[in-house]
Amino acid sequence: MTRIKPGRASALALMGWYLMIPPSLGGFQYDLTAPKSKWQQDSSYDSADNCEEHRMKVLDMLTNHKVRNLDAKTQDGNARTFFYSKCIATDDPRLKDKRREPPPYRCSRAVGLVSDGATEK
């Protein structure tokens, strides 16, 4: 039996999974090359298996036209959405948008210098 250290167990307990949808180009076309940080979160799960199970269940329902309140064309389009969807760990570094992160904090004024205005002209 393998034992997990308490710190490692808490880190594993915090990890989850997102079902992510690629950005739409319109008309049920998707940008599969877009960075994962641009993909839309559809839902979240406590394990990769639960995420993939849900993904496949929804895909099956849409592919086989089992959703009663949607016409066949809409179901086919939504099936395409779930076909391209991916289960991604919540801590996956690809979900961070490096371009949107604020720059590191920098102090622009000197600390400890005080002016009494006598030297300024």
Give the pLDDT of residue 118.
54
Per-residue pLDDT of 11-70, as tens digits, reads 445 689 999 999 999 888 899 999 999 999 999 999 999 999 999 999 999 888 888 888
pLDDT (0 to 100) of residue 105: 46
Burial 43-78 (b: 16+ CB within 10 A, else e): bebeeeebbbebbeebbebbeeeeeeeeeeeebeeb
Residue 20, pLDDT score: 96
Q: Which residue type is seen at 113?
A: L
Task: Delimit the domains of the chain by residue range.
Answer: 10-95
Q: Which of 87, 39, 83 is nearest to 61 (CA)?
A: 83
Q: How confident is the model at residue 96 (pLDDT cuts 50, 70, 90)?
A: confident
Taking the complete model, does pTM exceed 0.85, yes or no? no
